[in-house]
Amino acid sequence: MDHRISQMHISVRPYERLEQIGESSLSDAELLAILIRTGVSGMSSIEVANQVLSLDEAREGLSFLRDISLEQLCECKGVGRVKGITIKAAIEIGRRSMSVTPFWKNHQISNPDDAILYFEQRMSQLKREEVHVLLLDTRHRIIRSVVISSGGLASTGVFPRELFREAIKSNASAIVLAHNHPSGDPQPSADDIKTTQSLLKTSTMIGIDLVDHLVVGRGRSISMKREGLL
């Protein structure tokens, strides 16, 4: 039996539905079916897509595809090497398109959730701890972001100097600091809190507002401002 999308009734074909109602209106299974293209014996592309989605045991939505290995994906009936690579490539294209500077330039950071969205897309999948800073203008619009260190929050004595040097160089009025916990647990450590308090004092002396300090985990991040630690 032919299980190609072209053999589906036109009212349920993902390609046609995307053209008619837009990509944002399609279900996760329909979007995946477009990448998968064809089904296998006894399964349509939509059914193959739903089988892939059934691997999302933590109910994270499509974001789970960032973490699943290509090997796991290819084990799904109807996926295979080429379709698995296509799915992984599509997920990475989406991640990169959301993280590039032009997409975010002049975007206003109005609350912790705005900052969390920005940093999670860049940092939640990192394998080692990094420290990033978001430089903001007087209206808290993004000027640019900078990677301050790749060895952890307190790994180097020049960290505060480098942090504020970049802010001054860009004429920033405010900053949002973020570092990730590769373990996935975003709970701030005692050292995280101590370093944040020290940086807050420095920022007050310099006249650059430390808006927030985020700890980025996997699937969850913590705002120190929201937790009353800043």
Q: 65 is written with which tokens? A: 């595809």
Q: What is the pTM of this model?
A: 0.60
pLDDT digit of tens for each residue in the chain (230 aa)?
445 555 555 446 888 888 888 888 889 999 999 999 888 888 888 899 998 999 888 777 787 888 788 998 888 888 989 999 999 999 888 777 665 555 556 688 999 999 998 898 888 878 889 999 999 999 999 998 888 887 766 554 457 788 888 899 999 999 999 999 988 899 999 989 998 999 999 999 999 999 999 999 988 899 999 999 98
CA proximity to 159, closest of 16, 34, 167, 110: 167
User: Residues for the chain: how many in total?
Assistant: 230
Q: What is the pLDDT of residue 156?
A: 46
Query: Nearest CA to 1 among 36, 51, 42?
Result: 42
Per-residue confidence (pLDDT) for residue 55, from 0 to 100: 87
Q: Which of 127, 207, 161 is CA-nearest to residue 148?
A: 161
Greatest pairwise CA separation for the chain in angstroms = 73
CA distance 214 to 216: 6
User: Can you identify the CATH homologous superfamily of domain 101-223?
Assistant: Cytidine Deaminase, domain 2 (3.40.140.10)
Hey, is 160 helix, strand or coil? Answer: helix
Structure tokens at 111: 């609350």
- How is the chain split into domains, by residue range? 5-99, 101-223
